[in-house]
Amino acid sequence: MKKLLFSHVLLLLAAFTVSCRKTIDDYPLANLRAISSFDIEYYHNSGSNIFIHHYGVIDETNRYITVSVPTDADLSHLRPSIKLSPWTTCHPGNLDEVDFSNGEVEYEVTAQSGKKAYYRVLITADYVYQDANLLRLFLSDIPLANAEDIDPDDPTSGRSATPDSYMDGALVQLLLENGSGYDLTRQRTHLDVSASSHKCSIEVAEFNDESNYRPFHDLDTINYSDTVIYRITAESGKVIRYRAVVREKTE
């Protein structure tokens, strides 16, 4: 009799334990419903003339988001990158193509509980590119003659570059083998600038003569018998000058 009673007690305890064990379905549904970031990224929007990452500014109090993109951006086919609070969805969704050309667009954000919040998003085409950074210099007529990874804030960057107290940017030196026989007076030149320098203008002055700048065009023939100066002007108006020297090694 005692054994039977003990067995019944164990069964009751087991049933009580199982009934008290909560599953995820026993917890209340989350009410979180917020947009934590809203950006226009270049790798999803290259067809809309987006070349760098544009970050949205979120006014959470008024649930209002603004993003500034370049003046020539196509606002009618943008794919915003959206991050949300946990257990949250939104419509339109992340990376959905949206037309912002007619002004504000409303985003509906839904919590796990079903509660909703509404954000207004305005994208303005008024961004101005800030930089004038030269990344690479190539001489198309001389194999392997190029300077890469030039940092205007680090005058020691670039191939065989040395500090320069006069110029704003790096001093770029391309050193050729002795007796290479290349005609340095006529070298077609290609320059690569950073994505943040899009829309910049480039001028060139040969013979180390800054009084004689002219517009530079891709693959222009440049005379490197003396120092060449490249003056790059950002869309913002910022100006950086780079001095380029091409010569044979002395040793």
Does position 148 have pLDDT exceeding 80, yes or no?
no
Q: Does 174 lie in the same domain as 86? A: no
Q: Shortest CA distance to 63 belongs to which of 125, 127, 108?
A: 108
Q: Does 234 lie in the same domain as 150? A: yes
pLDDT tens track for 124-144: 999 999 999 998 888 888 876
pLDDT tens track for 216-237: 999 999 999 999 999 999 999 9
Query: Which of 127, 152, 181 lies at the terminal end of a domain, its last residue?
Result: 127
Q: What is the pTM of this model?
A: 0.79
The CATH number that applies at residue 236 is 2.60.40
Q: Does 145 lie in the same domain as 118? A: no
What is the residue range of 239's domain? 134-248
Report the SS3 class of residue 121. strand
Where do the H-state alpha helices sit in 68-121? none
Q: Does 109 lie in the same domain as 40? A: yes
Element (H or E) spanning 173, and its range?
Answer: strand 171-176
Decide if 11 is inside a domain: no
171 confidence band (pLDDT: 50, 70, 90): confident
Decide if 227 is inside a domain: yes
Q: Does 101 lie in the same domain as 85? A: yes
Q: Total structural domains in the chain?
A: 2
Q: Does 169 lie in the same domain as 244? A: yes
Beta sheet of 57-59, edge-to-edge order: 57-59, 64-70, 116-127, 105-110, 89-91
